[in-house]
Structure 1
């Protein structure tokens, strides 16, 4: 059905579920034919360091949520989008209290106004959209997933899970290996596995060539952020 939820439907759902959220959507690569992690997708379209700051805040301020963050963001391939949740007031208050403390710390760490366009200045919303999924996982909440639509385009429903792309086998390598070129160590900003797994064209070309991938990163990847 393309009808919006009615009040009585919400009440009936919440009698058996902890909350109602948007149906999970897959995170896909730039070409859209392979699943990638939530973190990888974020880095493709937003600042590559926002999630690192969020994770560090959780690690230091709320370490009890760190495993849930890694599972939902660093390892997960889908998430409930749009900052949408319907639940009882007690659960909402608990979620907001946790979320806003993290967002307050992010505000101290990140200047998301200078040097960013109006879209990227919405960083707090983009991060909270992901953190909602961390909270859901941490508390193992029983979620009722609803398909969503844009009121301006009611035919644009979220895609069915049966149509999701498949996860391509990922290239792995020794994460401790140094990325050195012309005597400069790029290990702090370059990860070979992440780089070639991120884009199909790089995977096909550099899956057996770590030095070539590093040279590509230095010549092109850095400038493309």
Structure 2
């Protein structure tokens, strides 16, 4: 008797030859396959409706987009990386029971000694952050409170990793890509590979913001480098969390109720012919 195919898919984003976990649920997907010089032998993100060629800018989000547009017969969906997995090796039955109690599974927060806004300004050009804020305010102004609350906090929910129902994922993906595609129209991408990954980086902030805005029931899960590995990634002791939070409270500027965008940056964008309308 032929085994019934699982309706739960946890995509494992991979872009180069490396050990990767695979079974009837965990599904390796070759991201950026349309522009890759190698065939890794896995499902590519370059079939059907796809943005595979934009992988240098969107990173693992090209797998997200592919899943959003092309996975139709799927009940639950997730995303992890070939070197970052959730500590729990999920089965279909366990996920079904877990997602009755929670709406989404996300990585355990990393408590920083600085705010998420300070983090994004360290990693991105200020003009690009200004574009992100202005695009959200124009397209989705109701999210402003959640954006400011997350960006002014010190809990970092990173890596674009999740597991949830396909229905919830589709709703998030539509919201997420509406913002990122609009940002892409205005951002002037750097020639440096790290800086070009800005849209994938932006989404690391958008996912938790979406969850907080909708008051989703979140199950936080620790990360490991490989399935069944006992070595935790980014693990923090309670003492470290407390110390970082104390440092954050003493060093972070008072929380604002506006975007706090510099008039110099806005004027600079206008001088470059960039104005979000």
Shorter-chain TM band: 0.5 to 0.7
Match of 2:159 in 1: 82
**Distance of 1:106 and 1:132 partners within structure 2:** 16
Q: 1:66 to 1:158 in 2, by over 3 A?
A: same
Number of aligned positions between the proteins: 168
Partner residue, 1:160: 236
Q: Secondary structure at the match of 1:188?
A: helix
Aligned: 1:122 with 2:197: yes
- How much has 1:187 moved relative to structure 2? 7.2
Q: Which has the higher strand share?
A: 2
Correspondence 1:193-208 to 2 at 5 A = none
Runs (4+) of structure 1 moved beyond 4 Å? none
CA RMSD of aligned residues (A): 2.6
Q: CA deviation at 1:11?
A: 1.7
Task: Report the 3-state secondary structure (helix = DSSP H, G, I; strand = E; otherwise coil) of the residue aligned with 1:167.
Answer: helix
| 2:126 aligned to which of 39, 45, 48 | 48
* TM-score, normalised with respect to structure 2: 0.55
Secondary structure of the residue that 1:20 maps to in structure 2?
Answer: strand
Distance 1:108 1:128, change over 3 A: same
Please list every run of 5 or more consecutive structure 1 residues that lacks an aligned counterpart in the other structure: 28-34, 176-185, 190-225
- Could you list the per-position Cα deviations for residues 18-67 of structure 1 after superposition, in whole angstroms to 9, with x for gaps in the alignment? 1111111123xxxxxxx111010121133233322111111111101111
Q: 1:53 to 1:167 in 2, by over 3 A?
A: farther
State TM-score, norm by structure 1.
0.67
1:18 aligns with 103
Instruction: State the match for 2:90 in structure 1.
Output: 5
> 1:62-88 deviations in whole A, cap 9, x for unaligned?
101111111111x11112111011111
- What does residue range 1-225 of structure 1 map to in structure 2 within 5 Å? 2-27=87-112, 35-73=113-151, 75-112=152-189, 114-115=190-191, 117-151=192-226, 155-160=231-236, 162=238, 163-164=240-241, 165-168=244-247, 169-170=250-251, 188=264
